[in-house]
Amino acid sequence: MHNKQHYGNTKYTAKTNDWELFLVIDCIDIAKAQKIERYIKRMKSQKFIKKLKVDDKRVQWLLDNI
């Protein structure tokens, strides 16, 4: 397991406590937030995620279209 040095023997990164907050997107409700989260995860793109942090238009597009 390539992350063993960071997460021990667990198979799930959710078990760790060293996460840092990268981006906050204010949503009107939890359902919208979950849809946006699933969309971002489906993209599987580190470049896409980094662009979200610097480009407010991309975040606004997510809020308007997802």
Q: Copy the structure tokens of residue 52.
A: 């979200």
- Count of Cβ atoms closer than 10 Å to residue 8 Cβ: 11
In this predicted structure, the answer to whether residue 2 has a pLDDT above a threshold of 50 is: no
6 versus 49: the higher-pLDDT residue is: 49
Q: Total structural domains in the chain?
A: 1
**pLDDT-based confidence at 19, cuts 50/70/90?**
confident
Domain residues for the domain of 39 are 26-66
Q: What's the confidence (pLDDT) of residue 51?
A: 93
Domain assignment present for residue 46? The answer is yes
Domain assignment present for residue 4? The answer is no
Domain assignment present for residue 15? The answer is no
Domain assignment present for residue 32? The answer is yes
Domain assignment present for residue 60? The answer is yes
In this predicted structure, the answer to whether residue 12 has a pLDDT above a threshold of 70 is: no
Model pTM? 0.69
**For residue range 29-43, what is the model confidence (pLDDT) as tens digits?**
999 999 999 999 999
- Report which secondary-structure segment, H or E, holds 54: helix 46-54
Domain assignment present for residue 16? The answer is no
Domain assignment present for residue 38? The answer is yes
Domain assignment present for residue 62? The answer is yes
